């Protein structure tokens, strides 16, 4: 496990005024507009053809330019894990490296916390790279003859941090990734997973708010990879960094991503939360991509809960309850008070009995002992519950408010891969 810290690396003061002035939402930390990258050949001519909608293949033929990014537009929100996913050659690494201008964009803008990186002079760009954006590479990028603590200190040396402070920060960062006690080892004495932790520690030690991670876990074997993913999520929850994470692995993207951008042939074809991508794929390409995913692990009760129709207020009375159930063709109604607090359900037979006994208090027949779940529960966890009862499962938030119901039909539709 990565160690807990009480003094998590602090965020630099936000430049919200600057950001707002540029028209981006306040919680945006990276804003990418009209980004294009062409490699080789006559790029002016190629950009012109690209603007005219000419295909990548034709552009390569007539100008010798490879179009790596066509026209990327996206925002990364502060504190999220923004995953860029796509097959090999789709342009992921190029996009990532344009964010800190390790690769020079051919057109478009990248604004990081109000700083237009694409127009920054050399000095400003160096500052951004040293203090705002750190990078974690797939092949770890460690210096083989330096001890781990010296490797982690490297970025701080570049920042000009004096020796005692950088040693303290490096040791602290090694502790964060669970490598306390390994400070004096050499990289070759560590496993791949441990080496990648050092890569991560080096990025964390710089205090950068933004971490760019390029296929950071792809070189690790599956078990270690899964462990590192869990630990990254844990670390992220405690440190509130902003992460841009590149992967070609859909499962990894779905597991880590607050939002995912799916790339194809240099273009972003969809940006959405894992649930949005699974429930509302933008086109056939995305649909084909996600077809084998176990959707019930990702989609939550809250996402498919039916919110309307099925509720009644406790004061409504049994006659109205019976009428509503007949209109809906349902044998149950879910009762919530005026503050949306969930009270339970009423059954049609009980309501009919009250009507025949001329009793008006619906409260007497509310059944509180019914299956409930929280909105963030993955559907996979509800399958057994749904199989053991005919009553729909009530989705109730932690504060007791009623969010809707999940019935067997919508659960089965989701398991069968039907998108809504």
Ligand X SMILES: Nc1ncnc2c1ncn2[C@@H]1O[C@H](COP(=O)(O)OP(=O)(O)OP(=O)(O)O)[C@@H](O)[C@H]1O
Q: Does 137 bind ligand X (CB under 6 A)?
A: no
Which residues in the 159-188 window bind ligand X by CB under 6 A? Answer: none
Q: What does the block give as tokens for 90?
A: 């789709």
Query: Which of 28, 43, 94, 296 is the binder for ligand X (CB under 6 A)?
Result: 94
Q: Does 300 bind ligand X (CB under 6 A)?
A: no
- Which sign does the torsion angle of CA 401, 260, 198, 12 carry? negative
Q: Does 86 bind ligand X (CB under 6 A)?
A: yes
Q: Does 39 bind ligand X (CB under 6 A)?
A: yes
Query: Which of 22, 167, 248, 340 is the binder for ligand X (CB under 6 A)?
Result: 248
Whether 269 and 262 have beta carbons less than 8 Å apart is answered as yes
Nearer Cβ to ligand X (91/317): 91
Pair type for strands 115-116 and 107-112:
antiparallel
Considering only the stretches 82-90, 115-123, 378-386, 407-415, report the one whose residues sit in contact with ligand X under the rule CB under 6 A. 82-90
Nearer Cβ to ligand X (68/277): 68
Summarize the chain as % helix, strand, coil (round to 5).
40, 25, 35
Q: Does 253 bind ligand X (CB under 6 A)?
A: no
Q: Does 247 bind ligand X (CB under 6 A)?
A: no
Nearer Cβ to ligand X (18/71): 71
Query: Which of 68, 72, 268, 303 is the binder for ligand X (CB under 6 A)?
Result: 68
Smallest distance, Å, CB 256 to ligand X? 16
- Which sign does the torsion angle of CA 124, 268, 249, 257 carry? positive
Quickly list H helices, 271-347: 274-279, 284-290, 301-304, 318-328
Q: Does 85 bind ligand X (CB under 6 A)?
A: no
Query: Which of 91, 199, 318, 392 is the binder for ligand X (CB under 6 A)?
Result: 91
Which residues in the 48-67 window bind ligand X by CB under 6 A? Answer: 66
Q: Does 123 bind ligand X (CB under 6 A)?
A: no
Separation CA 312–CA 310 (nearest Å): 7
Q: What does the block give as tokens for 200?
A: 């991560």
Please give the span between the terminal C-alpha atoms of the chain, in angstroms, as a whole number: 38
Residues 6+ apart with CB under 8 A from 76: 28, 29, 30, 31, 82, 210, 242, 244
Residues in contact with ligand X by CB under 6 A are: 39-40, 66, 68, 86, 88-94, 248
């Amino acid at each position: 496990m990565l160690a807990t810290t009480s003094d998590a690396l602090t965020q630099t003061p936000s430049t919200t005024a600057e950001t707002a002035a540029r028209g981006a939402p306040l919680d945006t930390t990276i804003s990418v507009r009209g980004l294009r990258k062409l490699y080789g050949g006559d790029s002016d001519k190629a950009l012109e053809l690209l603007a005219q909608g000419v295909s990548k293949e034709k552009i390569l033929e007539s100008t010798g330019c490879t179009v790596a990014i066509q026209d990327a537009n996206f925002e990364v929100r502060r504190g999220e894990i923004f995953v860029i996913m796509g097959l090999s050659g789709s342009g992921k690494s190029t996009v990532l490296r344009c964010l800190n201008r390790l690769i020079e964009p051919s057109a478009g803008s990248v604004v990081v916390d109000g700083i237009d990186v694409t127009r920054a002079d050399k000095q400003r760009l160096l500052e951004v790279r040293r203090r705002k954006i750190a990078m974690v590479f797939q092949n770890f990028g460690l210096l083989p003859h330096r001890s781990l603590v010296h490797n982690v200190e490297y970025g701080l040396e570049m920042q000009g941090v004096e020796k005692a402070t950088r040693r303290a920060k490096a040791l602290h960062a090694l502790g964060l990734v669970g490598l306390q006690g390994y400070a004096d080892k050499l990289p070759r004495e560590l496993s791949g997973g441990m080496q990648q932790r050092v890569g991560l520690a080096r990025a964390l030690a710089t205090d950068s708010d933004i971490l760019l991670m390029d296929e950071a876990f792809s070189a690790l074997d599956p078990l270690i990879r899964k462990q590192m993913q869990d630990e990254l999520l844990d670390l992220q929850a405690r440190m509130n960094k902003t992460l841009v994470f590149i992967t070609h692995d859909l499962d990894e993207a779905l597991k880590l991503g607050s939002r995912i951008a799916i790339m194809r042939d240099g273009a972003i074809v969809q940006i959405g939360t894992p649930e949005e991508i699974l429930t509302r794929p933008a086109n056939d390409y995305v649909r084909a991509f996600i077809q084998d995913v176990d959707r019930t692990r990702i989609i939550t009760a809250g996402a498919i809960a039916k919110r309307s129709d099925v509720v009644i207020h406790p004061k409504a009375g049994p006659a109205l309850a019976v009428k509503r159930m007949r209109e809906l063709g349902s044998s149950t109604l879910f009762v919530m008070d005026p503050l949306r607090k969930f009270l339970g359900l009423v059954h049609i037979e009980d309501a009919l009995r009250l009507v025949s006994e001329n009793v008006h208090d619906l409260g007497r027949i509310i059944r509180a002992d019914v299956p409930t779940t929280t909105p963030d529960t993955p559907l996979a966890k509800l399958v057994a519950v749904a199989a053991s009862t005919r009553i729909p499962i009530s989705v109730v938030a932690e504060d007791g408010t009623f969010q809707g119901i999940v019935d067997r039909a919508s659960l089965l539709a989701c398991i069968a891969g039907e998108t809504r």
